[in-house]
Amino acid sequence: MRLGVDVGRALHGHGGVATYTRELVHALVQSRRVDEIVLFDLDRGRWKRAYFESSLGHLPSNIFIERANRRELEALDLFHAPGYAMPPVGTPRYVFTLHDLTVLSHSFCHTLANRVRTLASISDALARSATILAVSKATKEETVRLLALPTASVEVVPPMLNPIFKVAGDCEKDLAMAARLGVREPFVLAVASLEPRKNFGRLLDAWTSLGAATGAHQLVVVAAEGWRQGRVRRRLERMTGDGSVVKIGHIPDEALAGLYRRANAFVFPSLAEGFGLPVVEAMACGAPVVTSKVSSLPEVCGDAAMLVDPEDTDEIAAAIEHLLADRRLHRRLRDRGLERARSYSREAVIPRLFEVYRRAAQR
Amino acid sequence: MTTALVVAGLSATVAVGAVVLRGLMRRLKLLRRLDRAESVVADAMADGRLAIATGEALLQHLDGLRRACIRGGEG
């Protein structure tokens, strides 16, 4: 099989879609189940191998980098579009990853440009009879409901977890890295991009309301820049000034894994997720999780996290306080989280992905 | 003094005009993107590649976005 994959988002961005795409490429390479993989950059049209390798690491010789022109695209058996971009022409067989439909269900969380781009690209994929690959059952259900699709036409394959997120790490190195970032222990960690859907406003309200109940804990916020969060950003700066919060921008996965390992709790009170990869990363590193009981998160976490109403600040605060105070609960969630995270390993997910590829190629 | 005021006024007008023009161009680009998406969906519905119910749902969502674009702001 000659498989084409658009990796534009992995080359030019951070966040969930970029992480998903990067991990997809690494898992495909590792699986050795595809004869030839051709990578494209549909975002900016780059085609220099060195440029791709600067983001994705060394690529073996059966991985080709090509320009997205008719000749190259029509020579493919299957094209996987994981970044909301469809090629202009090409093979009649496509797999299109749908990360979420929050541009429709939570439109107030998105910019108009983002809503137009995403829906236009979904329209393009459906018009070309692409196999739609939803990252969770919740996303599938929402897609079927909002786009009037037959249930059988949407496949579910979760994202794969980068193996760098693991509980075993170098303690000295993690501590040194945390110190370099200005983090002191103990701390509670939050990781998400700065955008309305991630609900940072209520998280900061909850943290403020806890006051002395947080003990000596700091709230460490790892947040890449997003959109429409001017007020939250200013508030984060103020709280950073008084020492209750540490705000860190985008950091490499290795450093992030170290923070997950050192965190006493991980908080992710998102208003809606298609999957919620940071939750699985935290679980894989042994951080007990407090997250939302909405959209995909209950399905992703099972019984391995404390689930709260993301619109109820008191409930978020109570869950954090409970988790920090109750060592048995802390240990139980940590153990269950480690077990849960295993179901999102490359080894567990890649056979499901190839089954979807097989069916898509036969359509 | 008067010349300085006129120059300042003109500069402000040009700056505001540039911002408005940029907004309009941006919206025009989005409207063109929506036009293309609607035409792709309509064609796919017409030749049976896309189920009518799905096509209609997409067209309805695309139309909502078109109205948001025309209204301006972030819809």
Taking contacts as CB-CB distances below 8 angstroms, the residues of chain A near B69 are 112, 116
A192 touches A204 (CB < 8 A):
no
Could A122 and B58 be called an inter-chain contact, meaning their C-beta atoms sit closer than 8 Å?
A: yes
A200 pLDDT more than 90? yes
- The model's pLDDT over B45-70, given as tens digits with 9 standing for 90+, comes to 999 999 999 999 999 999 999 999 99
Q: Which of residues 2-61 of B touch A (CB under 8 A)?
A: 26, 30, 33-34, 36-38, 40-41, 43-44, 49-51, 53-54, 56-58, 61
pLDDT band at B14 (very low <50, low <70, confident <90, very high): confident
What was the ipTM of the complex prediction?
A: 0.90
- Averaged pLDDT, A324-341: 97
Better-scored residue on pLDDT, B5 or B29? B29
Average pLDDT, chain A: 95
A4 touches A29 (CB < 8 A):
no
Which SS3 state, helix, strand or coil, does residue A361 take?
helix
Which of A121, A126, A131, A143 is the best residue to mutate to test the B interface, defined by the most B CB atoms within 10 Å of its own CB? A126
Q: What pLDDT does B73 receive?
A: 66
- The model's pLDDT over A108-158, given as tens digits with 9 standing for 90+, comes to 999 999 999 999 999 999 999 999 999 999 999 999 999 999 999 999 999
pTM: 0.93
**Between the CA atoms of A147, A152, A153 and A156, what dihedral angle is there, to the nearest 10 degrees?**
90
- Averaged pLDDT, A252-266: 97
Buried/exposed A164-201: b ≥16 CB within 10 Å, e otherwise: bbbbebeeeebeebbeeeebeeebbbbbbbbbbbbbbe
pLDDT band at A314 (very low <50, low <70, confident <90, very high): very high
- The model's pLDDT over A208-221, given as tens digits with 9 standing for 90+, comes to 999 888 889 999 99
Q: What pLDDT does A91 receive?
A: 76
A13 pLDDT more than 90? no
Q: What pLDDT does A228 receive?
A: 82
- The model's pLDDT over A59-112, given as tens digits with 9 standing for 90+, comes to 998 899 999 999 999 999 999 999 999 998 877 899 999 999 999 999 999 999
A259 pLDDT more than 70? yes
Taking contacts as CB-CB distances below 8 angstroms, the residues of chain A near B46 are none
Minimal Cα distance from B70: which residue of A? A112
Write the CA distances from A247 to A15, A236, A250, B13, integer angstroms.
17, 7, 10, 39
- The model's pLDDT over A225-253, given as tens digits with 9 standing for 90+, comes to 888 888 999 999 999 988 889 999 999 99
- Averaged pLDDT, A184-201: 95
Which run of H or of E encompasses A292? strand A289-292
A2 pLDDT more than 90? yes
Q: What pLDDT does B75 receive?
A: 53
- Averaged pLDDT, A37-46: 94
pLDDT band at B24 (very low <50, low <70, confident <90, very high): confident
- Averaged pLDDT, A355-359: 96
